[in-house]
Structure 1
Amino acid sequence: MEKLRRVLSGQDEEERGLTAQVLDATSLSFNTRLKWFVICFVCGIFCSVLGTGLLWLPQGMKLFAVFYTLGNIAALASTCFLMGPVKQLKKMFETTRLLATILMLLCFVLTLCAVFWWHKRGLAVLFCILQFVSMTWYSLSYIPYARDAVIKCCSSLLS
């Protein structure tokens, strides 16, 4: 019935672009998006906590770095279910989030490099801390005036 309505109104399938057709065919309901967001976000938290727990094993530093980084990537990817991957990438690279995004992605790579190629445990821990700080700063950019509040709070503690 919908197809007949489109043909009669002059909005035939051939007139729509391929991107619009694909997006219509793959769109998820809000409940499905919310469920997958929660699943992906919880898996990200679980991986990060598991990595922290594995830190004290004999070869735990490598496992820690991998699981902590995968957890942060999963938590970041979970928001793609809420707003879509294209919109998420556009928002990530807006001027207000650009520095935090670049630092966050750089820390993901540098953490794994520090563990697997450079074999520097202290450097890997430093990059994991920087991952946490950059993810927090990135996340705060979505809350209006949150960054300003954090800056004022930190400046009042330092002075």
Structure 2
Amino acid sequence: MSSTSKTEPFKKFFNKLPGINLPGEISLETNDQIVTSDPGIFQLSRYDRLVLFFICFGISVACFAICFFLFPLLSLKPAKFSIIWSLGSIFFLISFCILQGSKKFMENLFKADRIFFTLCYLSSITLTLIFALVIKITLFVIIACFVQFIAMIWFSVSYFPLGLNGLRFTTSLATSQVEGWINS
């Protein structure tokens, strides 16, 4: 069986999904514009970029899940927690870099309105790893992980389609639910 026949069902599946922008570039909607992908250094096909995106994003989710489910155990070893958390953040960024293409992704990250976020997120990842692996100061590791978590939420809200609207909807729904509990 040839490799093209093995991947054909997946290609058909992705072709049926709405919003994947099929014959051309992959676009990722942000709050103010649509960012399209560039072919990148490795000239990956759209299908290859999607597959690599899901692999890297899956690794990122797995790292975050490990941190979440093993938090009681990992809280005794903050350095191990911070390394796994930082790997999750790195794979999170790599997944979107693969999806959009490195040039477009870097241009988008270093725009004037996102430069503060980019520097904050990248420095928090770097500092977390330095504090955990080199300096080994637990308090600084915890602070850097917290900053990294806040920056990752900021990234998610600003980059995922409908991220800000989804956050507003969730917040208003939670607020109305809490008000309902208080008033009853």
TM range (shorter): 0.5 to 0.7
Once residues 123 and 24 of structure 1 are traced to their aligned partners in structure 2, the CA distance between those partners, rounded to angstroms, is: 37
- Aligned counterpart, 2:48: 32
In the superposition, relative to structure 1, how do residues 30 and 61 fare at CA in structure 2: closer, same or farther (>3 Å)?
A: same
Task: Structure 1: give runs of 5+ residues left out of the alignment.
Answer: 1-22
- Aligned counterpart, 2:61: 45
3-state SS in 2 of match to 1:95: coil
3-state SS in 2 of match to 1:117: helix
Task: Please report the TM-score for the alignment, with normalisation by the length of structure 2.
Answer: 0.59
Which amino acid in the other structure matches residue 67 of structure 1? I
Once residues 96 and 115 of structure 1 are traced to their aligned partners in structure 2, the CA distance between those partners, rounded to angstroms, is: 30
Once residues 91 and 107 of structure 2 are traced to their aligned partners in structure 1, the CA distance between those partners, rounded to angstroms, is: 18
3-state SS in 1 of match to 2:113: coil
Residues 67, 74 of structure 2: 8 Å contact kept: no
Report 1 or 2 for greater relative contact order, CA contacts < 8 Å, sequence distance ≥ 6.
2
Do residues 72 (structure 1) and 89 (structure 2) align? yes
Deviation at 1:24, TM superposition (A): 8.7
State the structure with more CA Rg. Answer: 1
Q: Deviations over 1:58-89 (max 9, x none)?
A: 97322211111011000111012211111111
Once residues 113 and 25 of structure 1 are traced to their aligned partners in structure 2, the CA distance between those partners, rounded to angstroms, is: 30
Deviation at 1:141, TM superposition (A): 2.1
Q: Which has a greater percent of helix?
A: 1
- Aligned counterpart, 2:104: 87
Q: Deviations over 1:90-124 (max 9, x none)?
A: 11111121111100011011112222333322321
Task: Please report the TM-score for the alignment, with normalisation by the length of structure 1.
Answer: 0.68
Moved over 4 A (4+): none
Residues 79, 136 of structure 2: 8 Å contact kept: no
The size of the alignment, in residue pairs, is 130
Segment drifting more, 31-40 vs 131-140: 131-140
Do residues 140 (structure 1) and 157 (structure 2) align? yes
Residues 86, 125 of structure 2: 8 Å contact kept: yes
Identity of aligned residues (%): 27
RMSD between superposed Cα atoms in Å: 2.9
3-state SS in 1 of match to 2:136: coil
3-state SS in 2 of match to 1:141: helix
Task: Structure 2: give runs of 5+ residues left out of the alignment.
Answer: 1-38, 176-184
Once residues 134 and 84 of structure 1 are traced to their aligned partners in structure 2, the CA distance between those partners, rounded to angstroms, is: 21
